[in-house]
Amino acid sequence: MTSPQVTGTGILKRSIKRQWKNSILGGFFLGLWQLSEALVPIAIGLIVDHAILQPTLKLLAIGLAGFALLFVVLSYSYRFGSRALNKAVNFEAHALRVEVAEHALKRLSAKDLVPGEVMSRSTADADSATRVFGQIGTGVSAATGFSGAAGYLLLSDWLVGLAVLALAPVIAGIVAFASRGISQRSSTQQETLAAAGAQASDIMSGLRVLKAIGGERWAASAYKDASQKSAYAAINTAAATGKVAGIGELSIALNLAVVLLLAGWRVTTGQLNPGELIAIIGVAVYLSEPIRLLTNSMRESAIAHGAAARIAEFLNSTPQPAALPDLELKSGAFIVLQPGSVELPQYHEHALKAPHNADIFEGTIRSNIALSHDPNIEINPQIIAAAGIKELNLNTAIHDAGTNLSGGQRQRLALARALYTQREVLILQDPTSAVDSVTEVAIAQGIYQLRKGKTTVVISSSPAFKSVADEVEK
């Protein structure tokens, strides 16, 4: 049964659901922060009208105390809200990185992976997808601040308030229309960035060969092309983002101009007093903040959706299992196959196929076998003997990629790792191609004894394995 396909929107919804507590806290406190920002010019106007134009020491003291309290709420609400959303961002970015890595490790084989692909999806894309929490914070705070400011304008001067409310959806619609292309451009940017990383990784892995055959110029040209494509894609994304930001700023300026003109006209007709004028102008200036936040929210949403779509595409890239071969595997049998005689299934829940070339990781002999950094973990001595690595100290430090081991030692260490799993079905592909014939015989006999009762398939033309096999398939 195939697992359901995920989408970018689905990933974003799932992220918000996983971090719902921090999302709610962040939205609430950032909304309170913007509401407090909107109240600052209103508070100034009230103090001017009731404690300065009509001097009253008691009211002035109350006004200043309330003003100080307002700034305490403003400061701490921003602090708590930002902290909550930052927690959501970091926790969810970690969850997405783990999900991408698990998919690569458990569902895909090495031949299905493009170098740099997992790195790109689990770093840049995972971080960009969590911008959805920034969208929550800026969106909620913008809506709260705007509502508070617009409500005050309606109560203090209905004409100014109506003008603001009429312009707001127009500005939002213009910004949303301009933001449409950011998601696609951002996705393209990430794709070209991953391709450039893959190109660099490919060149570095074969650097010695390239230098030996004089291929440096070709390699440099290939990387230059990939890097230029990535740069052009980044420029396109930046251009679209800048366009949205510019449209947002222009809209803010027009909105502010309309409010100031209307408020000035109302003052000339005597319908506003000085304190109300100060408050209205202050609120009008403040209104640029929620509109700017709304613009940022739409941009963040577009970028987050593009990154989430790339992660979804990767998580949906599950290869179909290979068809079962005609070969019938008898339970508990030790079978030797001639290389190329039959194609064995690559994906089986109880089977482990150990490749001819295996990765060795920085750590110790013990950690590379057990895939655990616990220095006290026990490893069956029979596994050590069967893999032919008795001469190696389990606590010997291993350099990156096993560069301080010989080719034969790396192959036998990888064999020990495969034997350590104790899988019911173990498929070994040329496990002793880099060892001498005497060691090969000892390894063949050791594996046969260790694997009694479990199914073992060895793909090899080695006489040593054929001599101990229960069945030899040609």
Q: Domain containing 469 — which CATH number? A: 3.40.50.300
Q: What does the pLDDT read at residue 83?
A: 93
Which structural domain range is residue 246 located in?
A: 8-315
Q: Which residue has the tokens 């509401």?
A: 35
Phi, psi (rounded to 5 degrees) for 175:
-65, -45
Please give the single-letter amino acid code of residue 109: S
Q: What does the pLDDT read at residue 201?
A: 66
> Contact 71/43 with Cβ under 8 angstroms?
no
**DSSP result, 214-265:** T-HHHHHHHHHHHHHHHHHHHHHHHHHHHHHHHHHHHHHHHHHHHHHHHHHH
| 14 and 107 part of one domain | yes
Return contacts of 63-67, CB within 8 angstroms, 24+ apart: 67/43
Name, in order, each residue with C-beta under 8 angstroms of 362's C-beta and a sequence gap of 6 or more. Answer: 398, 399, 400, 401
Model confidence at 357, in pLDDT bands (50, 70, 90)? low
| 379 and 430 part of one domain | yes
Average pLDDT in the 39-45 region?
A: 83
Residue 222 is assigned to a structural domain of this protein? yes
Average pLDDT in the 182-197 region?
A: 70
Q: What does the pLDDT read at residue 346?
A: 47
Q: How many angstroms separate the CA atoms of 284 and 255, rounded?
A: 8
| 258 and 355 part of one domain | no
Q: What does the pLDDT read at residue 348?
A: 47
Lowest-pLDDT choice from 177-186, 431-440, 456-465: 177-186
Does the pLDDT at position 436 exceed 50? yes
**DSSP result, 144-191:** HHHHHHHHHHHHH-HHHHHHHHHHHHHHHHHHHHHTHHHHHHHHHHHH
| 42 and 187 part of one domain | yes
Q: What is the CATH number of the domain that holds 142?
A: 1.20.1560.10
| 354, β-bridge pairs | 428
Query: Residue ranges of the alpha helices (H) in 206-215?
Result: 207-212
Angle between helices 8-18 and 20-47 (to 10 degrees): 80
Residue 322 is assigned to a structural domain of this protein? no
| 250 and 285 part of one domain | yes
Phi, psi (rounded to 5 degrees) for 397:
-75, 140
Does the pLDDT at position 126 exceed 50? yes
Residue 280 is assigned to a structural domain of this protein? yes
Residue 3 is assigned to a structural domain of this protein? no
Order of strands, sheet of 425-429, starting from the edge strand that comes earlier in the sequence: 351-354, 425-429, 455-459, 334-337, 471-473
| 346 and 459 part of one domain | yes
Q: What is the pLDDT of residues 96-125, one digit of tens each?
A: 988 888 888 777 765 556 556 677 777 778
| 307 and 362 part of one domain | no
Does the pLDDT at position 267 exceed 90? no
Q: How many angstroms separate the CA atoms of 290 and 164, rounded?
A: 12
Helix (H, G, I), strand (E, B) or coil at 471: strand
| 123 and 177 part of one domain | yes
Q: What is the pLDDT of residues 2-25, one digit of tens each?
A: 557 888 888 989 999 999 999 999
| 141 and 114 part of one domain | yes
Q: Which residue has the tokens 């299934």?
A: 345
Return contacts of 156-160, CB within 8 angstroms, 24+ apart: 156/272, 156/276, 156/279, 156/280, 157/262, 157/263, 157/266, 157/271, 157/272, 157/276, 157/280, 159/262, 159/266, 160/259, 160/262, 160/263, 160/266, 160/280, 160/284
> Contact 388/413 with Cβ under 8 angstroms?
no
Residue 193 is assigned to a structural domain of this protein? yes
Please give the DSSP secondary-structure letter assigned to residue 49: I
Q: What does the pLDDT read at residue 178?
A: 66
Q: Which of 380, 444, 450 is nearest to 412 (CA)?
A: 444
Q: What does the pLDDT read at residue 208?
A: 60
Q: What is the pLDDT of residues 89-98, one digit of tens each?
A: 999 999 998 8
| 278 and 144 part of one domain | yes
Residue 328 is assigned to a structural domain of this protein? no
Q: How many angstroms separate the CA atoms of 64 and 45, rounded?
A: 12
> Contact 70/36 with Cβ under 8 angstroms?
yes
Does the pLDDT at position 180 exceed 70? no
Q: How many angstroms separate the CA atoms of 351 and 454, rounded?
A: 11
Q: How many angstroms separate the CA atoms of 368 and 223, rounded?
A: 33
Tell me how many domains the chain contains.
2
| 185 and 60 part of one domain | yes
**Average pLDDT of every residue of the chain:** 78
Name, in order, each residue with C-beta under 8 angstroms of 411's C-beta and a sequence gap of 6 or more. Answer: 358, 431, 432, 433, 434, 435
Q: How many angstroms separate the CA atoms of 399 and 26, rounded?
A: 44
Lowest-pLDDT choice from 204-218, 359-373, 433-447, 451-465: 204-218
Average pLDDT in the 49-75 region?
A: 83
* Tokens read off for 371: 């895939």
Q: What does the pLDDT read at residue 324?
A: 41
- E strand or H helix at 468, and its extent? helix 463-468
Q: What is the pLDDT of residues 195-254, one digit of tens each?
A: 777 667 666 666 665 665 666 777 778 778 878 888 888 788 778 777 777 776 777 677
Q: What is the pLDDT of residues 313-327, one digit of tens each?
A: 888 876 654 444 555
Which one has a higher pLDDT value, 32 or 301?
32
| 439 and 350 part of one domain | yes
Residue 421 is assigned to a structural domain of this protein? yes
Does the pLDDT at position 440 exceed 80? yes
Average pLDDT in the 39-65 region?
A: 80
Q: Which of 354, 411, 350 is nearest to 110 (CA)?
A: 354
Q: What does the pLDDT read at residue 313?
A: 84
Which one has a higher pLDDT value, 25 or 427?
25
Q: What does the pLDDT read at residue 28?
A: 93
Residue 329 is assigned to a structural domain of this protein? no
Q: How many angstroms separate the CA atoms of 147 and 124, rounded?
A: 35
User: Among 315, 342, 368, where does a domain finish?
Assistant: 315
How far lies 424's CA from each of 208, 269, 380, in Å?
40, 91, 17
Q: In 3-state terms, the chain is what percent helix, strand and coil (to 5)?
A: 70, 5, 25
Does the pLDDT at position 386 exceed 80? yes
Q: What does the pLDDT read at residue 146?
A: 80
Q: What does the pLDDT read at residue 162?
A: 76
Which one has a higher pLDDT value, 155 or 378?
378
Q: Do strands 397-398 and 363-364 pair parallel, antiparallel, or not at all (unpaired)?
A: antiparallel
User: Among 315, 347, 381, where does a domain finish?
Assistant: 315
Is the sign of the CA dihedral 165, 169, 174, 179 positive or negative? positive
Model confidence at 374, in pLDDT bands (50, 70, 90)? confident
- E strand or H helix at 420, and its extent? helix 407-420
User: Among 259, 287, 315, where does a domain finish?
Assistant: 315
Q: Which of 353, 348, 427, 432 is nearest to 388 (CA)?
A: 432
> Contact 147/319 with Cβ under 8 angstroms?
no
Lowest-pLDDT choice from 65-74, 227-236, 354-363, 412-421: 354-363
* Tokens read off for 353: 């196929």
Q: What does the pLDDT read at residue 349?
A: 44
Q: What does the pLDDT read at residue 154?
A: 77
Which one has a higher pLDDT value, 311 or 282?
311
